[in-house]
Amino acid sequence: MSSSEIWIAFYTILRREIRRFMRIWPQTLLPPAITMTLYFAIFGNLIGSRIGEMGGFSYMQFIVPGLIMMSVITNSYSNVASSFFSAKFQHSVQELLVSPTPNWVILLGYVLGGVARGLFVGAIVTVLSLFFTHMHLHNLLLTVLIVFLTSVMFSLGGFVNALYARSFDDVSIVPTFILTPLTYLGGVFYSISLLPELWQGVSMLNPVLYMVNAFRYGILGVSDIDVTWALFIIAAFIIALFYIGLSLLNRGRGIRS
């Protein structure tokens, strides 16, 4: 395929992915908006007013970056995982497999589709947060870079999950039993400086901690970790997951006999 044909194939996948999550917005866009509004109202307003300051900011201001990041992570991941698994389940993935579209374009198309939903939901949550607190922005470029790369990383994770999944249960296991605990324990609601030294060390093994803190640094200018490390870790995960995803796709794991 020529470069223009490859671009058309990529754009077709991306457009279809965006059309999918927009078509089913009550399942994809509305739930995170409601959930995050409840988080802002209960944790931020009601409980947060009694907690006081954290990292030099009101508790509401402190949790906003974490909650935005949480919604970006879960939506990027679940968009690709459920979309690609559904395509496998109803065999419509064969439409792509019989076409000359290169595997790396298929991977990129689905991943960018996940990024589109992750960032769209992130934008909705950001707008909602403005009803509860004013937005502070320390470093726009870093904020955008971190949220984009994190979304790419978890979209890739969702793709690998979908390739391995044999049932809808397999698609929900990782978000429920791995992603949610890692996110909740990844400094969304607290600074790890509040934890005993042992648990601070354990928390440092959680990759989500780096992303949440780097994003918080971009917005508020405070972080529990070194932002350079965060960028390094995200980049390493992206490279590894892209390699794994593409290798599995080339081998036809879960999609070719």
Partner 1 sequence: MAYAIEIKDLKKRYDNGFEALKGVDLTVEQGDFFALLGPNGAGKSTTIGILCSLVNKSAGSVRIFGVDIDQDFAKAKLHLGVVPQEFNFNVFETVFNVVVTQAGFYGIPLELAKERAEKYLKQLDLWDKKDTQSRMLSGGMKRRLMIARALIHEPKVLILDEPTAGVDIELRRSMWEFIKELNEQGTTIILTTHYLEEAEQLCRNIAIINSGEIVENTSVKALLKTLSSETFVLDLDHSLSNVELDGYEMNLVGDGSSIEVAVMKGQNLNDVFNYLNQLNVKVVSMRNKSNRLEELFVKLIKGSK
Contact call for residue 8 and partner 1 (CB under 8 A): yes
Total residue count of the chain as it appears in this document: 257
Using H for helix, E for strand and C for coil, what is the string for 168-229? HHHHHHHHHHHHHHHHHCCCCCCCHHHCCHHHHHHHCCCHHHHHHHHHHHHHHCCCCCCHHH
Contact call for residue 1 and partner 1 (CB under 8 A): yes
Contact call for residue 235 and partner 1 (CB under 8 A): no
In the chain, alpha helices (H) = 3-23, 25-28, 30-39, 48-51, 59-89, 93-97, 103-129, 140-164, 168-174, 180-184, 197-203, 207-220, 227-251
Q: Using the rule CB under 8 A, which residue among 101, 151, 213, 223 binds partner 1?
A: 101
Contact call for residue 94 and partner 1 (CB under 8 A): yes
54: helix, strand or coil: strand
Contact positions with partner 1 (CB under 8 A) in 23-52: 23
36 or 96: whose CB is closer to partner 1? 96
Count Cα atoms within 13 angstroms, Cβ side, for 214.
24
Q: Which part of the chain contacts partner 1 (CB under 8 A), choosing from 93-101, 149-157, 173-181, 236-244?
A: 93-101
Q: Which part of the chain contacts partner 1 (CB under 8 A), choosing from 19-27, 47-55, 207-215, 220-228?
A: 19-27
83 or 223: whose CB is closer to partner 1? 83
Give the single-character DSSP code of 53: E
14 or 63: whose CB is closer to partner 1? 14
Contact call for residue 88 and partner 1 (CB under 8 A): no
Contact call for residue 12 and partner 1 (CB under 8 A): yes
d(CA 247, CA 107) in angstroms, rounded, equals 11
Residues found near partner 1 in the complex (CB under 8 A):
1-2, 4-6, 8-9, 11-13, 15-16, 19-20, 23, 87, 90-92, 94-102, 252, 256-257
